[in-house]
């Protein structure tokens, strides 16, 4: 399943908001440096979708706040 995500990094709290079936808005605590925010994003998505971390891949937008992520359910 491919999902579109708008990420806001360096927030005081973590949250996931489902905008529509394949569109999400996610707030992360990590800063967007040294891949920290991407790693936190993958961990949050693995908990949300109840899959292993290895089943989640960022397809597009590794350095952008708008990302396309593949989740292998």
**Tens-place pLDDT, residues 38-50:** 999 999 999 999 9
CATH at 9: 3.30.1200.10
Residue 25 bridge partners (DSSP):
6, 17
Task: Name every residue whose Cβ is closer than 8 Å to that of residue 60 and which is 6 or more positions away in sequence.
Answer: 67, 68
Residues 11-66: tens digit of each pLDDT: 999 999 999 999 999 999 999 999 999 999 999 999 999 999 999 999 999 999 99
Range of the domain at 61: 2-71
| pTM recorded for the entire structure | 0.94
What does the angle CA 21 – CA 40 – CA 49 come to, to the nearest 5 degrees? 35
Q: How many domains does the chain have?
A: 1
């Amino acid at each position: 399943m491919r999902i579109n995500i708008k990420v806001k990094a360096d927030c005081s709290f973590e949250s996931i908001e489902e905008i529509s079936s394949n569109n999400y808005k996610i707030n992360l605590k990590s800063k967007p440096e040294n891949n920290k925010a991407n790693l936190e994003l993958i961990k949050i998505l693995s908990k949300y979708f109840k899959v292993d971390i290895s089943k989640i891949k960022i397809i597009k937008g590794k350095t952008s706040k708008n990302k396309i992520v593949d989740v292998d359910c």
